[in-house]
């Protein structure tokens, strides 16, 4: 009986040490691939997700909706609308907790490429703010420490493509 207890103790110690050694790589794997769900939506599903996230109704002239999120760590949205409607599109949003200082020819450094692996980037292939030649942009840190990065492709003066990244610090 004492012999079995000794073997059981050695087995438990072995399992404990294996778990300890694997904890660091596994925690990263679990965090990036299991615990943070990545969702991509387009069209009316994306429009509903964006309006629900921001707590606003977007103007009727907004079109071409795209939405992606990595749990609550990052959100990427994109849609098109005329520039006159963009100014007040998020007014009254409880989610957007800062004001953008928009600057012509300013392209924020987006975390999209750092936070998402190649497979996830391909799922959100519509995210292309690097391809614009004429643009305006800005960024701000919200009162809840989320970083908001806004970018608008202004190549078509009547219909801008608006992109926003929101990441937790």
- Residue ranges of domains in the chain: 1-35, 37-168
Quote the CA–CA distance of 45 and 28 in Å, as a whole number: 30
Give the distance, in angstroms, between the CA of residue 141 and the centroid of all CA atoms in the same chain: 15
Query: How confident is the model over 4-22, as a mean pLDDT?
Result: 62
Q: What was the pLDDT predicted at 27?
A: 47
Quote the CA–CA distance of 10 and 86 in Å, as a whole number: 66
- State the pTM of this model: 0.77
Kindly list the strands in the beta sheet with 103-104, ordered across the sheet, starting from the edge strand earlier in the chain. 38-42, 63-70, 74-81, 160-168, 146-153, 135-141, 103-104
User: Do the beta carbons of residue 83 and residue 154 sit within 8 Å?
Assistant: yes
Q: Which of 129, 152, 137, 165 is nearest to 50 (CA)?
A: 165
Could you read off the pLDDT of 87-102 as tens digits, one per residue?
Answer: 788 888 999 999 888 8
Could you read off the pLDDT of 133-164 as tens digits, one per residue?
Answer: 999 999 999 988 999 999 999 999 999 999 99
What's the chain's average pLDDT? 86
Quote the CA–CA distance of 48 and 31 in Å, as a whole number: 27
CB environment 16-47: b (16+ within 10 A), e (fewer): eeeeeeeeeeeeeeeeeeeeeebebbbeeebb
């Amino acid at each position: 009986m004492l012999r079995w207890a000794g073997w059981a103790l050695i087995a438990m110690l072995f399992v404990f040490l294996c778990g300890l050694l694997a904890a660091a790589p596994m925690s990263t794997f679990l965090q990036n691939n299991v615990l943070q769900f990545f969702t991509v939506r387009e069209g009316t599903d994306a429009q509903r997700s964006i309006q629900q996230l921001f707590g606003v109704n977007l103007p009727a002239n907004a079109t071409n909706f795209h939405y992606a999120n990595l749990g609550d760590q990052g959100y990427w949205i994109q849609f098109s609308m005329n520039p006159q409607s963009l100014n007040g599109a998020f007014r009254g949003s409880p989610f957007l907790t800062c004001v953008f200082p928009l600057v012509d020819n300013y392209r924020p450094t987006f975390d999209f490429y750092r936070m998402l692996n190649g497979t996830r980037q391909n799922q959100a292939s519509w995210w292309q703010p690097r391809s614009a030649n004429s643009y305006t942009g800005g960024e701000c840190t919200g009162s809840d420490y989320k970083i908001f990065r806004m970018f608008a492709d202004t190549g078509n003066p009547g219909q801008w493509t608006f992109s926003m990244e929101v990441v937790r610090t």
